[in-house]
Every structure is written in C-alpha cells, then in structure tokens.
Structure 1
Amino acid sequence: MNYVLDFSVVLEKMPDLLVAAMATIGLALAGMSLALVIGVLGVAARTSAIRPLRGAVIAFVEVIRNTPFLVQIFFIFFALPMMGVRLNPTVTAIIALGLNGGAYAIEIIRGGVDSIHRGQVEAGLALGLHKAQVFRLIVLKPALRAIYPSLTSQFIMLTLTTSVCTSIAAYELTSVAQIIESDTFRSFEVYFTITLMYLVISWMMMGLFALISRHFFSYPVR
C-alpha cells in the first residue's frame, strides 16, 4: 500500500468545513425546533376529542416512522414541484428534518403525557384552570421532564441525519466534504476529519441539552 497521508489539503480547506459545520448545526436546530412544535401540537391533537384529528395524527406518525428519511426528503424536493410546490434545498431539509423528528417526538411526548395521573388533571380543572393551562402547566412540563433524555437522544440522531440532506445538495458538512474530496481525492483525510467534526457537534448538542435540563427541568434543591 503506497498511500501516503496528507492532511495539508484538509487544513487548507478547514475554514470551509467550519462554516459548513455551523450550517449543519443551524439545520439541526431549525429541524429540532420544528419537530418540537409538531410533537407538542401533535400530542394535543392526538388526545383531543375530535376523531378525524386523532386519525390524521396517527396516520402521519405511521407514514413518517415507517418510511426512510431519504425517501421523505426526495418526495418533498422532487415530487412536490409536480404539484406546484417548489422549495430550495435548505428549506426542504429543515421541513424534512422537522417532519421526521416531529413524528418520533409525538410518540415520545405522548408516552410522557400518558404517565401523568388523571387525578392531577382533574385537580387542575377543579382549581378553575382552563384546559390549555392544565395541559401546559400540569401535563406538559412534568411529561417533558420524564421523557427529556429520550427526546434529546432522538434530537442527537436528527443532528446526524442532516448528513442525508447532501442528497438534495443542501449546504451542510457532508456536502462540502464531498466537494473537497472530489477536488483533492483525499478521501481518508477528508472523511476522517468530518467524522471527528460530527463527534464534536454531537458532544456540543449533548452539552446544550444538559444545560437546558439543569435550567428548566431540574428539581429545586431543598
């Protein structure tokens, strides 16, 4: 084997990789935000008294959870334009990540909501709270505290899933790495470097989630 490692090309392109890494983090955070909104609204709809609404949420979750993310993002980017809906790669990536993460978030959050004792809800209603206040104050926050580790693990997976967005030429770390690799033919050096960068991004996300947990979900110290 005569291959000689040369990381100088990677160091030369490091500014481009760092900018792309920031774009990846931006995609991930936008996708997570959309997924969390979909998750909370989906659970509210899933537990409503309106049967068609419950059915629509169940159908959405089943479709998203049982189809590949690659097919989902291709459908949004390539199939929807046939119906007159055209989106740029970045917007498509955010929507696809949000929908995918949202479907899993619905089931995770629903598990937490179901763990809340019915008596707590009845007590809130007896105190004169509106149903929306009961859901937000009595049901949602304790449920999020219970399922927070599972939810954040899913969001870490969503962060890594951003690499699939290179398939529609969205600007993120893997797409930039592919361009550098095709220009330099230094496959090992390029992909070894972005592997480390994805590890760092994941650790940064875990640190952010731990900070949020301590600030919003920790129990008061007596």
Structure 2
Amino acid sequence: MGYTLDFSVVIDALPSLLWGCLATIGLAQSGMSLALVIGVAGVVARGSNQRWLRGLVIGFVELIRNTPFLVQIFFLFFALPHIGLTLNPTVTAILALGLNGGAYAIEIIRGGVQSIDKGQIEAGLALGLHKGQVFRMIVLKPALRAIYPSLTGQFIMLTLTSSICSAIAAYELTSVAQRIESDTFRSFEVYFTITGLYLAISWLMMTGFSVFSRRYFNYPTR
C-alpha cells in the first residue's frame, strides 16, 4: 500500500509518552482511592435505617452504571460550569473516575459484606463492640479479601477507562499520543506504541495487586 513504517518519531517522543504513562497512573490511583472511599461509604449508607439514604445510594449506582462514562465526564466538565462550578480537566477526570469506579465498588463491596456470616457480627456486638468497630474489624477485611480479585479487576478497567479523559484534554497517555499523532501523522506507529504501553501499565498493576494480596490476604502464589 506504499506505507513505510517509521518508529523514529515514537522514539523521539518517548520521554513525552513516558510522562503520559505516569500521568495515567496518577489519574488512576487518585480515581481508585476516591472510588474506594465512595464504595465503603456507599455500603455503609446502603445498610442505614434511613430509607432516603438507601434510596440515594441505589439511585446513584443505577445512574452511573447505566450511563456512558463519556457522558458523565462531559456533564462534569461542560454542564457544571452553567451552575457556577468550573473544574480543570485533571480534577474533572479524577472526580469522574472516582464516581464511576465508586458505583461499581459499592456493589462489589456490598456483595462481599453480605457473604460474611451473621453469627460473627452478632458475636462482635455481644462482646461490646459498637457497629462501627464491628464493620471495620469483623466485616470489612474479610469482605475485602473475598472481593479483592473483582475489585482489583475493576480498578484495572478504570485505569484503561482513563483514556477517555483525553476527550476533555486531561493530561494522560492517550492525550499525549493524540498530540504526537497530529504533529507527525504517524498514526500506526503512535497507537501501536501506546497499545503496548497500556499493556505494560496493566501488567504492572496486576503484579502490584498480586504482591499486595499475598502479603496482606495470604493469597497463594500462582
């Protein structure tokens, strides 16, 4: 077809791509931290005696899980300024990732909590622990151990989803690649390279999660 591969443009732009990788990891870690906080808080609220609070959590989960991430991030970035709330692209990306991941984390963590034997909870209450201590000491850690593979898989998916944040010009790997491609017109080389970089990021995250699980949850080595 007459197309000659030229990866020299990618080699020249490698420092920018590596900075983009670090930015992607930073966005993902921030989004995951927010998602985990939302997930735990949502599970606690879902178990509340207040019907309105339970309804609020259910509505949030259904809203996020049944709308596209692109629409969610566009709403935060383009719609909120009309009511006086303007966020920069990075903050918007972290907030969107956190809210999106949090909705899924609520359901994943809730499934883990429901798997805990009620007898253990009753025993904790009988020992004089208040509900917060029971949740933290008896429920949360065993639940996290049970749902750890699902939760980490969701977090890796959230990392890959961060590429959509390039739609609002948030600084991350895909946005860097788009700028390089628009300057060089070497689409194949650029996107072939970032495909490999995303694979490397995913592999590093899976390795890190695996090490953490062996250390803190005593999962067997594969």
TM category, shorter: over 0.9
Distance 1:61 1:201 in 2: 28
The superposition leaves residues 129-177 of structure 1 with CA deviations (integer Å, 9 ceiling, x where unpaired) of: 1110100111111000000000000000000000000000000000010
In the alignment, which residue of structure 2 is the partner of 1:215?
A: 215
- Residue 170 of structure 1 aligns to a residue whose secondary structure is coil
The superposition leaves residues 180-214 of structure 1 with CA deviations (integer Å, 9 ceiling, x where unpaired) of: 00100100000000000000000011011112111
Distance 1:50 1:214 in 2: 38
Q: Using a 3 Å threshold, how does the CA distance of structure 1 residues 126 and 106 change in structure 2: closer, same or farther?
A: same
> In 1, are the aligned partners of 2:113 and 2:140 still within 8 Å (CA)?
yes
In the alignment, which residue of structure 2 is the partner of 1:51?
A: 51
Distance 1:23 1:219 in 2: 30
- Residue 48 of structure 2 aligns to a residue whose secondary structure is coil
5+ unaligned residues in a row in structure 1: which ranges?
A: none
Distance 2:219 2:96 in 1: 35
| TM-score normalised to structure 2 length | 0.98
In the alignment, which residue of structure 2 is the partner of 1:99?
A: 99
- Residue 86 of structure 2 aligns to a residue whose secondary structure is coil
Distance 2:60 2:219 in 1: 34
| TM-score normalised to structure 1 length | 0.98
In the alignment, which residue of structure 1 is the partner of 2:205?
A: 205
Is 1:31 the counterpart of 2:35 in the alignment? no
Deviation at 1:219, TM superposition (A): 6.6
Distance 1:43 1:215 in 2: 26
In the alignment, which residue of structure 2 is the partner of 1:74?
A: 74
5+ unaligned residues in a row in structure 2: which ranges?
A: none
Deviation at 1:46, TM superposition (A): 0.3
> In 1, are the aligned partners of 2:89 and 2:170 still within 8 Å (CA)?
yes
Distance 1:5 1:31 in 2: 36
Deviation at 1:50, TM superposition (A): 1.1
In the alignment, which residue of structure 2 is the partner of 1:111?
A: 111
What amino acid does structure 2 have at the position aligned with 1:180? I
Deviation at 1:117, TM superposition (A): 1.2
- Residue 18 of structure 2 aligns to a residue whose secondary structure is helix
In the alignment, which residue of structure 2 is the partner of 1:186?
A: 186
In the alignment, which residue of structure 2 is the partner of 1:161?
A: 161
Q: How many residues align?
A: 220
Distance 2:59 2:103 in 1: 10
- Residue 5 of structure 1 aligns to a residue whose secondary structure is coil
- Residue 120 of structure 2 aligns to a residue whose secondary structure is helix
What amino acid does structure 1 have at the position aligned with 2:52? P
Deviation at 1:216, TM superposition (A): 1.6
Distance 1:13 1:21 in 2: 13
Q: Using a 3 Å threshold, how does the CA distance of structure 1 residues 137 and 87 change in structure 2: closer, same or farther?
A: same
In the alignment, which residue of structure 2 is the partner of 1:137?
A: 137
The superposition leaves residues 33-61 of structure 1 with CA deviations (integer Å, 9 ceiling, x where unpaired) of: 00000000000000111111111000000
Distance 1:204 1:78 in 2: 34
Distance 1:219 1:49 in 2: 35
Provide the alpha-carbon RMSD of the alignment: 1.0
- Residue 44 of structure 1 aligns to a residue whose secondary structure is helix
